[in-house]
Amino acid sequence: MQTTNNLGLKKPEGTDIVDIADLNGNMDTLDSAVKSLQDHAADTHRHITDAERTQWNAKETTAGSQAKANAAAAASVPLTQKGTANGVATLDASAKLPAGQLPATAVRATTADVTYYVRTDGNDSNNGLANTAAGAFRTIGKAISMIPTVVNHKVDIMIANGTYSEDVLLHGFTGYGQIRINPSATVINDSCIIQSLTLDSNAIAVIAQGVKASRTSAYAFSAKSCINAAFLFCKTDTASSYDGLFVSSAKVYIYGSIISNRNKAVNANQNAEVFTWDLSGTGNIIALYSGEGSRISTTGSVPSGTTQAASGNGGTLTTGVINPWGDNTYNSRPFGSLNHTPSTQTISASVWTKINLTGQVENQRGICDASNARFVIPETGIYLLTCRIGLGANGSNLTGLRLGVYLNGTRNMQIAEMNGFSSTGITLSGSSLFSLSTGTVVEIYAYTDQSATISQSGEYSHVSIIRVA
């Protein structure tokens, strides 16, 4: 008897006796096999549908997967570059990124106080940390470029004497530290020369000392949108139609500086606050200008100008007035006193004669020119002049006595007169207010009908002048 190849079903041959048990066994085998096929076909976990097959066939091919893997590898950081500035930065001992591994665009901050040196024989390829030709920078701009945006320490830039053809700009620094230029300078220095200096949008203190600006086509010094800017012992004296110090929306302190030959010596605009202390300078068109809600406060001397002070659009200037009845402007208010000295002076009859007021008693703001017996007005304003002159008779009785005020060599006003007579002498006195501009020469003259003598005593012959507004 033979059997089938797969299920082993019995196949009786012609000579075999048919056995019912063989037939039943074949049937049982077939039943089991068919049932297994039915169960397998119904099992969805072992077989996929046509829709599932279509979805599966649409997935990534081996070649496509390899292409994507190759592209990702090409874009990744090579092992040799890990830990570098453009790679994966490592951490230092304090679990911080080392500054040397940060990209150039990262915001940096100071880690300690530092001093950079600049010299005309330096080199910008140096590190700037030594005051030698081999250590210092050549340009101020290079030193500034080394300062991080966030300054939490003291950063000093020491500039050696020389001429630096640079428009120096310090811009956008913040933090709680400060930047100082030439912090050891305590006097005007004509040998440390730059083109101009601009402080812009700084939220820290920036202090410049002992530099001279020579730029004529721009502001010599300027501060814009700074919370604390200072200029100490700085100077500009080159003639220019631009301002010496221009301030806009900034708070500025300027001390011991010289500003000459500029359009405006100090110009405050757009809610600026400027405090000046002991400034000087000549040849300015306007000495002090405050506009657009700005405030300029002064103490001590200020630069002179054709117009001493001006304001507009809500700007104010003050020299520290306390109240309407008194002030603290003794050192800043022009005030002078001269008396008659040293010898007796004769006044010829019927001739206006200049009185020799050569004895200086008070001289605030340089208003007295005692050697020439006169006052020279240092700033435009309203002045009160008081005069008292004692005259004695030379023989005959005195008549026709007069005192006159001469401005720039021309009689302007007769402030005292007496037509009586005295055999021994008389004192003439008078006072008046004058509106005087910068540079006006003020002199006192006397006139009598008969020859007279002016006493040398300051008690009887004395003239004072003071600016009151």
pLDDT digits (tens, 9 = 90+) for 132-152: 999 999 999 999 999 999 999
Looking at the fold, whether 367 and 292 belong to one and the same domain comes out as: no
The secondary structure element, H or E, covering residue 369 is strand 368-369
Residues 285-295 have a mean pLDDT of 94
User: What pLDDT does residue 323 have?
Assistant: 42
| 84 in a structural domain | no
Asked if residue 311 and residue 175 are part of one domain, the reply reads: yes
Q: Would you tell me how many other CB atoms lie within 10 Å of the CB of residue 64? A: 10
Burial of residue 152 (CB within 10 Å: 0-12, 13-18, 19+) is middle
187 and 114 share one domain: yes
**pLDDT tens track for 387-436:** 998 888 887 777 788 999 999 999 999 998 887 666 667 888 899 999 99
Cα–Cα distance for residue pair 296/110, rounded to 1 Å: 34
- The answer to whether position 385 is within a domain reads yes
- CA nearest 252: which of 280, 231, 283? 231
The DSSP-derived string for 327-361 is ES-TTTS-EEEEE-BSS-EEE-TT--EE--B-EEE
Q: Is the peptide bond before 334 cis (omega within 30 degrees of 0)?
A: no
Among residues 284, 306, 327, the one where a domain terminates is: 327
Who has greater pLDDT, 61 or 224? 224
Q: Does some domain include residue 436? A: yes
Q: What is the mean pLDDT of residues 248-271?
A: 97
Higher pLDDT, 448 or 132: 132
- Residue 325's pLDDT is 41
pLDDT at site 468:
86
Mean pLDDT of 27-38: 81
Q: Is residue 274 part of a domain?
A: yes
Task: Tell me, yes or no, whether 291 and 353 share the same domain.
Answer: no
233 and 355 fall within a common domain: no
What CATH code is carried by the domain that includes residue 426? Answer: 2.60.120.40
Task: Pick the range with the lowest mean pLDDT from 161-175, 296-310, 425-439, 453-467.
Answer: 453-467
The span from the first CA to the last CA of the chain, in angstroms, equals 144
Same domain flag for 269 and 387: no
Is residue 303 located within the same domain as residue 343?
no
Residue 342 above 80 pLDDT? no
* Per-residue CA distances from 307 to 273, 302, 312 (Å): 21, 12, 14
Q: Which domain holds residue 17?
A: 2-45
Residue 37 maps to a domain: yes
Top pLDDT among 339 and 2 is at 339
pTM of structure: 0.54
Asked if pLDDT for residue 236 goes beyond 70, the answer is yes
Would you say residue 51 lies in a domain?
A: no
Is 50 exceeded by the pLDDT of residue 322?
A: no
Q: Cα separation of 54 and 58, whole Å?
A: 6
pLDDT bracket for residue 324 (50, 70, 90): very low
Do 271 and 319 fall into the same domain? yes
The answer on 232 and 202 residing in a single domain is: yes
17-35: average pLDDT = 81
Q: Per 3-state DSSP, what percentage of the chain is helix, strand, and coil (rounded to 5)?
A: 15, 40, 45
Q: Residue 107: pLDDT band by 50, 70, 90 thresholds?
A: low
Q: Which residues, in sequence order, are bridge partners of residue 230?
A: 207, 253
Looking at 124-128, 305-309, 393-397, which range is the least confident one?
393-397
- In total, how many domains does the chain have? 3
Asked if residue 300 and residue 424 are part of one domain, the reply reads no
Among the candidates 327, 361, 377, a domain finishes at 327
Residue with the bigger pLDDT between 366 and 330: it is 366
Do the Cβ atoms of 294 and 274 come closer than 8 Å?
yes
Domain end: 267, 293, 327, which one?
A: 327
Mean pLDDT across the chain, nearest whole number? 87
Residues 351 and 314 in one domain: no
Reference 167, options 200, 194, 199; nearest CA is 194
Are residues 183 and 321 located together in one domain of the fold? Answer: yes
82 found inside a domain: no
